[in-house]
Structure 1
């Protein structure tokens, strides 16, 4: 994996953090707005918090949000619209498998997620990755790259673009079958795997994290068994070199393989970015539109 791609992942995470900040109301009307995380109504006439008898008003809260995040969030919203419009005009299309690959890599640097958390994160990731790729396409569209150079780059790095199946696993490791059967009995009664790992597991590296081991993507005892399991299921106890293990499969990420035709535009863009003598920013595209915003000149 290239340093450039690792940097791209960090950019995606940064953009996601910025764009998921709550959008506040710019006016001070009496409209009841939904709260960001709690999904309950907020009365703009009432304080949003009190400490003893001291109030934090809705106006103080939103003013703080505006002063702290306002310019960044508004700029991100403008950037999105600029890139969306120009991409449509230029007919830019992105191979879904390229996005799938980046999403899989982002999953592997996350911990355990609920289905709801994963769904929200993935939606944001896909939007951010798509935005970044389309921005890069727009900024590099006039840079010419020889076909032979693209093919040479592919031959050199093609193995980096194929991802094996990855399986997210937790384990409970115990010393004897009696304890293992007790764990299974409690799991069958509805006990949480993570809680039982903290109570019973002899795996000192993971028990305080509820047995979480991370993602496996190569042959071995855990990976081989997990391949035959469904997501959100646990195994029967089995012998390992370290004791008797029970594993839990949280998530499976499918293998992704990209051929030259599927990667060509992506590789051309990466090579073109190396020739770009400007920072990759949507600022460079604002001149295509008459943009006025409350913060003055960009």
Structure 2
């Protein structure tokens, strides 16, 4: 072997090793979720340890691929296909419809911090747009008579509306002096829920950090006097103390969800797609749409 050839091989090996080192240094760490302060994984270190036995990143990823790889990839293909077809057919989803669904999902949740709710709403929105677009695509060619739609709306139209509601917590104390002490603690950034556990006389909610849940504004179970005060408050704020039959109350408004109602024309196409899904016995699957696209994927 000539010296020139040997030198060439050595240079190639050196360059390859340097490139490899650069690659590994760049990709040594990875973020495993989209949270602002989500955990950062060092790929070279164990992601878990059980009685001294390490579990490494690559083993974890291998198991994820084996157990969820196909279904996750199919889900990604479905979402991209629906997005493309919906754009092609100009299937925009009404913001009012999405907001109504988000309100319903929000009302089903417990107490969430502002940042948590924002993240949840973003995920809900993506899933809701996908679901509605998929449903419209699957039922695009199904005919439903106008008079049938009118009758359905007259009978079931209210189910598409959302009644205004408030998510509340409260603290009930014996007198104004105690209430003022609670307010001073709140002004010093004390947690409302912890103060409810410490001070509140309401045995039903005290162990739940004073949480009353979501209450429809027109509900007969809305505590007397609360609605008028809460309607003047901002989300994530507490009230001044006020007198009630049970004692002196301080309420915390986590979230106000306004009323959302739909006219026949506003809800017609979504109502039609729901009826069509039922009459054709279709499931909410993108599989029938695959034939409309050129799809190549690992598992075919």
Are 1:168 and 1:249, in contact at CA under 8 Å, matched by a contact in 2? yes
- The 3 A distance-change label for structure 1 pair 40 and 277 is closer
Indicate which of 275, 286, 292 corresponds to 2:290.
Answer: 286
Q: Partner of 1:57 in structure 2? A: 56
Indicate which of 231, 251, 270 corresponds to 2:255.
Answer: 251
Are 2:164 and 2:258, in contact at CA under 8 Å, matched by a contact in 1? yes
Equivalent-residue separation in structure 2 for 1:250 and 1:174 (angstroms): 20
TM-score by length of 2: 0.83
* 2:111 is the counterpart of 1:112: yes
Equivalent-residue separation in structure 2 for 1:91 and 1:110 (angstroms): 33
Indicate which of 236, 239, 247 corresponds to 1:232.
Answer: 236
Q: Which aligned pairs between 1:8-47 and structure 2 lie closer than 5 A? A: 30=24, 31=27, 32-36=29-33, 38-47=37-46
Q: Partner of 2:4 in structure 1? A: none
- The 3 A distance-change label for structure 1 pair 147 and 211 is same
Q: Partner of 1:136 in structure 2? A: 135
Indicate which of 225, 241, 245 corresponds to 2:245.
Answer: 241
Q: Partner of 2:11 in structure 1? A: none
- The 3 A distance-change label for structure 1 pair 70 and 222 is farther
> Which stretch of the first structure deviates more once superposed, 133-142 or 39-48?
39-48
What's the CA shift for 1:232? 1.5
- The answer for unaligned runs of 5 or more in structure 2 is 1-22
Are 2:180 and 2:241, in contact at CA under 8 Å, matched by a contact in 1? yes
Are 1:170 and 1:247, in contact at CA under 8 Å, matched by a contact in 2? yes
Size of the aligned set, in residue pairs, is 268
Are 1:216 and 1:223, in contact at CA under 8 Å, matched by a contact in 2? no
* 2:115 is the counterpart of 1:124: no
- The answer for unaligned runs of 5 or more in structure 1 is 1-28
Q: Output the aligned Cα RMSD.
A: 1.8
Equivalent-residue separation in structure 2 for 1:288 and 1:209 (angstroms): 52
What's the CA shift for 1:40? 4.6
Equivalent-residue separation in structure 2 for 1:205 and 1:66 (angstroms): 47
What's the CA shift for 1:241? 2.6
